[in-house]
Amino acid sequence: MTPDPTVFVATSDLAGQMRGRSVPASALDSVLRRGVGWVPADLAITAFGAIAANVFGSTGDLRLMPDAATQVEIPAHKDDPKVTVVLADQTLPDGTPWACCPRTFARTALEDLRAATGLDVVASFEHEFMVAGLPKTGPFSFERHRSIEPFGSELVALLEGAGLEPENWLPEFGADQFEITLQPAPGLVAADRAVLVKELVRDLARRHGRRVTFAPLLHPDGSGNGVHVHLSLRDSTGAPVLYDPTRPAGLSALGHRFAAGVLAHAPALLGLTAPSPASYLRLTPHRWSAGGIFLAERNREALLRICPTSTVGGGDTAGQYNLEFRPSDATANPWLTLGVLVRAGLAGLTGEYDEPTIWPETVTEPELAGVPTLPSGLGEALDNLAADPVVAGWFDPDLLATHLAVKRAELAAVAGLDDVQLCAKMADVY
């Protein structure tokens, strides 16, 4: 007999891992009203499961307060009972916001963008991952698509059933690599879905006896797994505002200013969007991850790519027009990633920034030789983060200090490993 269903109340931490507590499904109503208990020091858990030295210590208590709108159901299957997963804000015991909650960080950034500019964000996170134990197949091949059935079709059905609006399910370029993309959605919804989609993929793979990994790189010579974040902006009437056909690459003046903030703060942002020691093995030129800090039209080496649009079949250019932030991966917390991109864009919209070059599609590699380089490692990215007063100023000091402590503890945990060993250690936990 299949056991009774449960409800898993979840958050995503600074290692980008979903953690939480479960209750019997019969308690759903009371849990939606009152939440479940949680512990401040949980925020200091590293990707490897240790607790980094932190400001919270052994005291203090929080609530995980579920947002009913995020509920997804994983149906019963064989011996596995049905489980409902619901994402939560971390609050103080009286229900008021906790200053270190990553989901609250994203929501506040979106609220501040709207208050200052009247704009809303539409976003989508694209996830690449690798599946162990499949036969060798070619990039983008039908053979690879079929090699994992019925997993692929079940995944698409699961995501559709859960309301996550899958868009593309594809065999990717790298060995054993696949990608799942979701439809664009309002900013917070998109980040919530990024938290959930990884776990739904992982859970379905487990039921198929398969192991998947979202680690940035499985082998130093292999293809990387990115989480590209697509962003567009809408005004208060819902009209898209990034497109202006009279300007270079069609990027509106407003979009150009938004991009300026992201590029200017990129060296620090990477400490949050690519926050694992292995992230920087992926972020090297010629991998189509991101090869430098630049904005370019339809160029997969760019940090910020102006994405293609298509008018075929009545496609609307302004509605599709979006910017893609490429140097992020699944070791990042999606709420923090979205939050810092929104804050950086808002800084660009409201502050004094140099307008970055919009490199045209025809740009050659020698022409790009002078663009600023990405941080060479996590240590450098964390130092940039701590040293950028604008970016550091977006965070509650305890949240920033905990992030830096967790990430420095992860660096210490991999000290002395060579790149092959480092990739393998990260792949073990992602």
Which residues here bind ligand GLU, judged by CB under 6 A?
128, 223-224, 226, 282, 287-289, 300, 326
Question: Smallest gap, in angstroms, from Cβ of residue 98 to Mg ion?
Answer: 35
Question: Smallest gap, in angstroms, from Cβ of residue 198 to Mg ion?
Answer: 15
Which CB sits closer to Mg ion, 179 or 324?
Answer: 179
Q: What are 57's two structure tokens?
A: 């210590």
Is position 179 an interface residue for Mg ion (rule: CB under 5 A)? yes
Question: Smallest gap, in angstroms, from Cβ of residue 218 to ligand GLU?
Answer: 11
CA angle 49/51/57 to nearest 5° reads: 150
Which CB sits closer to ligand GLU, 8 or 325?
Answer: 325
Which CB sits closer to ligand GLU, 48 or 288?
Answer: 288
Q: CB within 8 A of 243, min separation 6: which ones?
A: 250, 251, 252, 255, 309, 317, 318, 321
Read off the amino acid at residue 430: Y
User: Of ligand GLU, Mg ion, none, which one does residue 282 interact with (CB within 5 to 8 Å by kind)?
Assistant: ligand GLU
CA angle 184/185/191 to nearest 5° reads: 105
CA–CA gap between residue 140 and residue 138 (Å, rounded): 6
Query: Closest CB to ligand GLU belongs to which residue?
Result: 226
Question: Smallest gap, in angstroms, from Cβ of residue 181 to Mg ion?
Answer: 8
Is position 192 an interface residue for Mg ion (rule: CB under 5 A)? no
- Give the H or E element holding residue 230: strand 227-234
Considering only the stretches 134-142, 153-161, 175-183, 376-384, report the one whose residues sit in contact with Mg ion under the rule CB under 5 A.
175-183
β-bridge pairing 212-213 and 120-131: antiparallel
Q: Mask: binding to Mg ion, 55-74, rule CB under 5 A, as x and -?
A: --------------------
β-bridge pairing 295-297 and 358-359: parallel
Which CB sits closer to ligand GLU, 326 or 425?
Answer: 326
Q: Mask: binding to Mg ion, 129-168, rule CB under 5 A, as x and -?
A: ----------------------------------------
Spell out a b/e string for 312-329, using b for 16 or more CB atoms within 10 Å of the CB, else e.
eeeeeebebbbbbbbbbb
Question: Smallest gap, in angstroms, from Cβ of residue 332 to ligand GLU?
Answer: 13
**Dihedral (CA of 419, 422, 428, 430) sign:** negative
Which CB sits closer to ligand GLU, 13 or 128?
Answer: 128
| DSSP states along 291-350 | -SS-EEET-TTSSEEE-----GGG--HHHH--EEE-S--TTS-HHHHHHHHHHHHHHHHH
User: Of Mg ion, ligand GLU, none, which one does residue 288 interact with (CB within 5 to 8 Å by kind)?
Assistant: ligand GLU
Q: Could you list the residues that contact Mg ion (CB under 5 A)?
A: 179
